[in-house]
Structure formats: structure tokens, C-alpha cells
Amino acid sequence: MGNYSSEELIKYINKFSEKRIMVLGDLIADKFIIADPERLSREAPVLILKHQQEKILPGGGANAAANIASLGAEVDLLGVVGEDLAAEALIEELEERQILTAGVFKDRSRPTAEKTRILAGGEQIVRQQVVRVDKVKSFDISTQLQQKLNSYLKENIASSDAILFSDYGNGIFNQNSTAQFVEAAAAAGKESAVDSRYQLNQFKGAVIATPNLEEASAIYGRELRSQAEVEKAGLEMRKKLELKYLLITQGGDGMTLFAPGDKIEHIAAANFSEVFDVTGAGDTVVGTLVLALAAGAPAEIAIRIANYAAGIVVRKSGVASVTGAELIREVNKNDS
């Protein structure tokens, strides 16, 4: 636990429900088709699956928003969807979680980004993913949509405590738009966190960024193999990207925080022995982190809270989220 008591962490977790976070990101409809294997096809050596049910869950930036809402905060979500059934199902799912969707704009020229996973297996066993089909158009959004998002952000950011930029490379963040979004957040004096898949260097000047090891290696230009290499790269990247904090997440090896004054702090992963499924764990980390910062937690405490949240979510199947009560239980359990 380092020098921080569980009471100190819980004090900030209890403030989560008073906060509102703005999330601007690439929205993805995660579609799950659940089916039972029936027999082999006569047409080809493939399984025939009998359709049982299907559901659409929030993915990409919408999953980060769902994680923050699950922790008890209000979420004002901004993004772009198509004019299609996937968009309707996704928005319905978001509204069911009390996520504000007034900033979700429709674009007739592109379908809603959709990732369809087909899961097979009977009732009694863990269902396995058989295949995934992605329907994603990643060209830049139009200038008109960019302006709509920017105006919404500027008009509404004052009522949020912090903003999260969730970039999955689907076109919301580009050479023109990203700097405008980051500047609008800075002008409003709000904490801004960035989770960017491919273009973190566009988010110069954000408060905190959370690349994983693979993303950090890509930005740095070579694979980071040891903790010493991670630390050398992190110090350089934090300065180059003009970030206040840089957090490199390292899966089973925990996470390393780079702070002003060239401070480095490494924390081990919470319960990595019980990993079941790492899907969406990055969204959980960044969502919890931005919420803890908004609640006034110093970065060193915020990363510990986020680490516990990651420790819970990897024990769950699929794209999952964590509640405030679960987080408090986890902190207490580990404070021995």
C-alpha cells in the first residue's frame, strides 16, 4: 500500500458520486452473439451454431463512459454514431446507465463502429469467442461535426469536473480537431486525461496520459523490454508530450507513474494471479483515474485506486465495469 491508508483512498472513492466527467471519444457498439454449437456443416468444415441471444454493449469511448458511470459519477458523453440500428441500441444502452447523450451526434455518411463477437459454448461451460467481425470506418470526421463537438465541449465543460479523451483511431481525433479539444479543456481549467491508441503525440499539453507498454513502445520508437527502459523512455516522453503526468500501464507488471520533477513511482499489479479476462481493463484504469483526480486525489493516490479497479475488472468476463462498493471492498481487503 505504500504510505497510503485504506481510509485515505476510500475518502476519495466516496466523492465519486458527487462528480461529473465529460468523455469525448470514438464510440463503438460491442455486439455479442451467443450461440450453441449444434453440428458440423456439410458445406464446409465449419461449426453450425444455433443462435441463442445477442446484445450490444458500450465499447471504445462508450465503455470508458460506462466504467465511470458504474463508479457512481455523472457522465456527459460526446461522440459520433451513424444513423442505424447499432446507434439506436448503443444509445439506449447508454441511457439505461444514466449517461447523458446530448453530445452524441449522428453522421449519415458512416455506420456506427461495430465489433461483433460470436461466442459459442453450452450453458455449463465458459463460452469461447469463435470469431470477431469489425465494421469500422476510420476516416476523419467532417469539419461540421468537429465544430459541433467543439461547441458542445466549450458550452458544457464548465459543469464537468474533468474530461477524458478516449481515442480508438476512428476519426474523431485528427490533426485539426485534437489540439482544439485539448485547448478547450485547458482554457476551462479542467483536468484532462488521454487514452490514445495510435496518436498520443497529438495530445500535447494534457494533464495525464495512460499508454500501455505496446503503445508507449510505438511512440518511443522501439520495444521497451525492462523496467529500466520503461523509466528512461517515460522520463523523455513526459517532457516531449508536455504532460503533467504520464502513466505507463504494464499488465502483469503493474504501472509506472512519471510526475513533475522527474519523479518515478512504480506500483505492482493488484492480484494479477487471478486474471480471467483483460478486455477493457485500460478503459477501467483511465476512467477510475480521471474520476479520482476529479475527486481531488493526488496522482499518487489516484493511480492506486485505478490499480485496484483494474485488479477487479480482470477477474470478470468480457467488457466489464466496477462499482464504488466493489472498489471499497477491494481496498479494505488489501489493507493488511
Catalytic residues: 283
| Contact assessment for residue 213 and residue 230, using Cβ atoms and an 8 Å cutoff | yes
Q: Sheet holding 27-40: strands in order across?
A: 47-60, 27-40, 113-120, 128-135
Which residues, listed in sequence order, are joined to residue 15 by a DSSP beta bridge? none
CB neighbours of residue 115 within 10 Å? 17
Q: Sheet holding 100-106: strands in order across?
A: 100-106, 74-81, 20-25, 162-167, 191-196, 208-209, 245-249, 255-259, 263-267
E strands in the chain: 20-25, 27-40, 47-60, 74-81, 100-106, 113-120, 128-135, 162-167, 191-196, 208-209, 245-249, 255-259, 263-267
E strands in 200-334: 208-209, 245-249, 255-259, 263-267
Output phi, psi for 189, to 5 deg: 70, 30
| Contact assessment for residue 118 and residue 151, using Cβ atoms and an 8 Å cutoff | no
C-alpha cell at 5: 491508508
Distance CA 312, CA 328 (A): 11
C-alpha cell at 212: 500501455
C-alpha cell at 184: 478547450
Instruction: Identify the CA nearest to 293 among candidates 202, 219, 198, 185.
Output: 185
